[in-house]
Homo-oligomer: A and B are copies of this chain.
Amino acid sequence: MAKQISFGDRVLAATGEFGPLCVGIDPSREQLAAWGLGLSAVGAERYALSMIEAVAGLVAAVKPQVAFFEQFGGRGMIVLERILSDAQDAGLIVIADAKRSDIGSTAAAYASAWLDADAPYRCDALTLTPYLGVGALKPCFDAARASGRGVFVVARSSNPEGVVLQEATAATGRTVEDQVLAEIAAVNGEIHDGSSLGPIGAVVGATRTASTFDLSTMGGAFLIPGVGAQGGTAAEVAARFSGLDTRSLLVNQSRSIASVGPDLGQLREKVLAEREGLRIALAAS
């Protein structure tokens, strides 16, 4: 197999060409109903294939939400295998949003599922949560590094219920959020894969309040939820992530795009409009 281009370099190339828009592929109960599709693995597959067709060649990345396939059991997960593969074949950076979290041989099994070169779920990056410690996720970091893939560890989520935990103060004097970011920075600092952007990214919500951590030292990409239907705006993203290379930002939007319905032409128009809105807001910052 030819040597992979590093995850960081692929992100930089894709966002440099298309801007920061990452489109969520979310065949939720509500979205399937809104598109007139069945609440089934087949419905989820049709939804996802339409979304991939709509965004291919227009945006840097897609983020299929794994839970919306998992809800249909093993058949849903077989559909997900195909969707991830098709999205990669369409030239998109594919972020599997699974928020997995475990330790030791279990973390290694998640790496086998999502991050190894021969993983059944073929994606470019996987989201992880750090409740069991950033260090516990090392098997996933190692697998990503070896296969040229990436991970995004949730540091600050976009929902209010997470604040009490994420703003708690660790023994290091940092908030939990900043502690997670600092530990990610340390891991990226040890990785020299030739890219200016390391393989360990962070999920940081658009609606987050400022923290004392200098995001420019994190050394990886940022996956930014909360824009659009969740209430965050492109201007907020521009303000909160100002001073960073905008090519390190992936701003996820899903419902705000899918809400136009399943018509391919209307979807592509909406994607282009959201893409330009983000690009203008970030260029002005």
On A, residues with C-beta under 8 Å from B are 26, 28-30, 65, 67-68, 70-81, 99-110, 112-113, 120-121, 129-136, 154, 157-172, 175-176, 179-180
Closest Cβ of chain B: how far from A167's Cβ, in Å? 7
- B109/A162 in contact, CB under 8 A: no
**10 cross-chain pairs, A with B, having the tightest CB-CB distances, nearest first:** A73-B120, A133-B161, A74-B78, A135-B161, A67-B109, A168-B168, A74-B77, A133-B162, A71-B112, A168-B170
Residues from chain B with a CB closer than 8 A to the CB of A162 are 103, 131-133, 136
Distance in angstroms between the alpha carbons of A167 and B106 in the assembled complex: 23
Report how far A110 CA is from B30 CA in the complex, Å: 14
Question: Taking CB as reference atom, which chain B residue is nearest A107?
Answer: B67
Interface contact B105-A29, CB-CB below 8 Å: yes
Which one of A28, A74, A172 has the highest number of Cβ atoms from chain B below 10 Å of its Cβ? Answer: A74
A105 to chain B: which residues have CB within 8 Å?
26, 28-30
User: Shortest distance in angstroms between A160's beta carbon and chain B's nearest beta carbon?
Assistant: 8
> With contacts A68-B109, A71-B112, A133-B164 known, what are 4 further pairs, Cβ within 8 A?
A71-B110, A71-B120, A133-B160, A169-B169
Interchain Cβ contacts under 8 Å between A and B, 10 examples: A28-B106, A67-B106, A67-B110, A71-B109, A73-B77, A74-B74, A99-B102, A134-B161, A165-B180, A168-B168
Q: Are A161 and B78 in contact (CB under 8 A)?
A: no
What's the least CB distance linking A159 to chain B, in Å?
Answer: 4
Residues in B with CB closer than 8 Å to A71 are: 109-110, 112-113, 120
Query: Chain B: which residue is nearest A74 at the CB level?
Result: B78
- Please tell me which one of the listed residues B26, B106, B132 contacts residue A161 in the complex, with CB atoms under 8 A apart: B132
A157 contacts which of B74, B79, B132 (Cβ < 8 Å)?
A: B132
Interface residue from B76, B157, B171 paired with A131 (Cβ < 8 Å): B157
Chain B proximity of A209: nearest CB distance (Å) = 13
User: Which residue from B68, B73, B168, B171 sits with its C-beta under 8 Å from A106?
Assistant: B68
- Check A159/B132 contact, CB under 8 A, given A78-B74, A109-B71, A112-B71: yes
- A79 → chain B, closest Cβ, in Å? 8
Q: Complex Cα distance A164/B158, Å?
A: 22
Contacts known (A136-B159, A157-B103, A159-B136); A70 close to B109, Cβ less than 8 A? yes
